[in-house]
Structure 1
Amino acid sequence: MPPDRPPRDVPRPPAPASRKQIAVAIAAVLVLVITGFAWRSVDSLRSNLATIGLGLGGGEDGALDILLVGTDSRTDAHGNPLTSSELEALRAGEEVASNTDTIILVRVPNDGSSATAISIPRDAYVNVPGIGKSKINAAYGATKEAERGRLVEAGKSDAAAEKEAAQAGREALVESVADLTGVTVDHYAEIGLLGFVLLTDAVGGVDVCLNAAVDEPLSGARFPAGEQTLDGSDALSFVRQRHDLPRGDLDRIVRQQVFMASLANKVLSAKTLTNPGKLNQLSSAVQRSVVLDSDWDIIDFATQLQGLAGGSVKFETIPVVDINGTTDYGESIVEVDPKAVRKYVASLAGEEPAEDASTTTSEQIPTTMPDIDVSSVAVDVANDSSVSGLASSVGNLLENEGFDLGTVGNHTGKSVSRSTVFAKTSDSDAARAVSVTLGGLPIETDSSLKTGEVRVVVTGDYTAPTSSSSSSNSASGTSTTATSPTPVEPGPPIDAGGTGPRCVN
Structure 2
Amino acid sequence: MQARGACHRTVFLVLSRTALAALSAIVLAASAFAWSTVSTISTGVERSYAITDDAPRSESGRNVLVMGLTTRLDLHGEPLPDDVLRRMQAGESDRGGYNANTLILLHIPDSGPAVAMSVPRDNLVPLSSGGEGKIKEAYGRAKIVEEDRLRVAGTHDKRELERAGREAGRRAQVRTVSTFLNQPIDHLVEISLIGFFHIAEGLGGVDVCLRHATKDPLSGADFPAGPQHLDAGQALSFVRQRHGLKDGDLGRTRRQQAFLSAVTKRLRGADVTAVQAMIDMAKQDVVLDARFDLVEFAGNLPAEVRFDTLPIEGGAHLGGLDVNKVDQDEVRAKVTELATAPPPPPPDDGIPCVD
When normalised by structure 1's length, the TM-score is 0.61
Per the TM alignment, residue 243 of structure 1 is displaced from its structure 2 partner at its CA by 0.7
2:307 counterpart of 1:315 = yes
**Contact 2:28–2:279 (Cα < 8 Å) also in 1:** no
> Aligned residue for 1:179?
179
1:225–1:494 Cα change, 3 Å: farther
Higher helix proportion, which one?
2
> Aligned residue for 2:43?
47
For 1:289-333, what per-residue CA distance to the aligned partner results, in whole angstroms no more than 9, with x for missing partners? 11101111122211211xx44xx21111111111x2122x23210
For residues 79 and 294 of structure 2, what CA distance do their matches in structure 1 show?
26
The 3-state SS of whatever aligns with 1:215 is: strand
**Contact 1:208–1:262 (Cα < 8 Å) also in 2:** yes
Residue 280 of structure 2: which of 279, 284, 303 is its match?
284
When normalised by structure 2's length, the TM-score is 0.86
The 3-state SS of whatever aligns with 1:46 is: coil
Point out which structure has higher relative CO (alpha carbons under 8 A, 6+ apart). Answer: 2
Aligned pairs for 1:27-106 within 5 A:
29-30=22-23, 32-33=25-26, 36-42=29-35, 43-56=39-52, 58-77=56-75, 81-94=79-92, 95-96=94-95, 97-106=97-106
For 1:66-116, what per-residue CA distance to the aligned partner results, in whole angstroms no more than 9, with x for missing partners? 0101112333346554222112122122214222111111111122x2121
For residues 147 and 239 of structure 1, what CA distance do their matches in structure 2 show?
30
**Contact 2:21–2:116 (Cα < 8 Å) also in 1:** no
Per the TM alignment, residue 284 of structure 1 is displaced from its structure 2 partner at its CA by 0.8
Per the TM alignment, residue 151 of structure 1 is displaced from its structure 2 partner at its CA by 1.7
Root mean square deviation of aligned Cα:
2.3
For residues 283 and 34 of structure 1, what CA distance do their matches in structure 2 show?
7
**Contact 1:29–1:191 (Cα < 8 Å) also in 2:** no
- Bigger mean CA deviation after superposition, 334-343 or 89-98: 89-98
For residues 183 and 31 of structure 1, what CA distance do their matches in structure 2 show?
22
For residues 38 and 284 of structure 1, what CA distance do their matches in structure 2 show?
11
The 3-state SS of whatever aligns with 2:229 is: strand
1:330–1:81 Cα change, 3 Å: closer
> Aligned residue for 2:147?
148
> Aligned residue for 1:204?
204
Residue 498 of structure 1: which of 345, 348, 355 is its match?
348
| Higher Cα Rg, which structure | 1
**Contact 2:134–2:323 (Cα < 8 Å) also in 1:** yes
Query: Aligned residues, how many?
Result: 327
1:496–1:74 Cα change, 3 Å: farther
For residues 127 and 237 of structure 1, what CA distance do their matches in structure 2 show?
31
**Contact 1:325–1:334 (Cα < 8 Å) also in 2:** yes
Aligned pairs for 1:5-404 within 5 A:
29-30=22-23, 32-33=25-26, 36-42=29-35, 43-56=39-52, 58-77=56-75, 81-94=79-92, 95-96=94-95, 97-111=97-111, 113-159=112-158, 160-267=160-267, 269=268, 271-272=269-270, 275-305=271-301, 308-309=302-303, 312-322=304-314, 324-327=315-318, 329-350=319-340
1:182–1:495 Cα change, 3 Å: farther
2:350 counterpart letter in structure 1: G
For residues 322 and 47 of structure 2, what CA distance do their matches in structure 1 show?
35
The 3-state SS of whatever aligns with 1:45 is: coil
For residues 141 and 77 of structure 2, what CA distance do their matches in structure 1 show?
20
- Bigger mean CA deviation after superposition, 159-168 or 281-290: 159-168
For 1:329-354, what per-residue CA distance to the aligned partner results, in whole angstroms no more than 9, with x for missing partners? 23210111111111111223339xxx
For 1:5-60, what per-residue CA distance to the aligned partner results, in whole angstroms no more than 9, with x for missing partners? xxxxxxxxxxxxxxxxxxxxxx7952532783233344132112111112355423
**Contact 1:107–1:348 (Cα < 8 Å) also in 2:** no
**Contact 1:117–1:316 (Cα < 8 Å) also in 2:** yes
1:122–1:262 Cα change, 3 Å: same
> Aligned residue for 1:374?
none
**Contact 1:325–1:335 (Cα < 8 Å) also in 2:** yes
The 3-state SS of whatever aligns with 2:151 is: helix
**Contact 1:210–1:504 (Cα < 8 Å) also in 2:** yes
1:498–1:39 Cα change, 3 Å: farther
1:296–1:320 Cα change, 3 Å: same
1:131 counterpart letter in structure 2: G
**Contact 1:261–1:496 (Cα < 8 Å) also in 2:** no
Per the TM alignment, residue 61 of structure 1 is displaced from its structure 2 partner at its CA by 4.2
1:286 counterpart letter in structure 2: A
1:78–1:298 Cα change, 3 Å: farther
For residues 259 and 495 of structure 1, what CA distance do their matches in structure 2 show?
20
For 1:138-184, what per-residue CA distance to the aligned partner results, in whole angstroms no more than 9, with x for missing partners? 10011211221222122112432322221111111111100111110
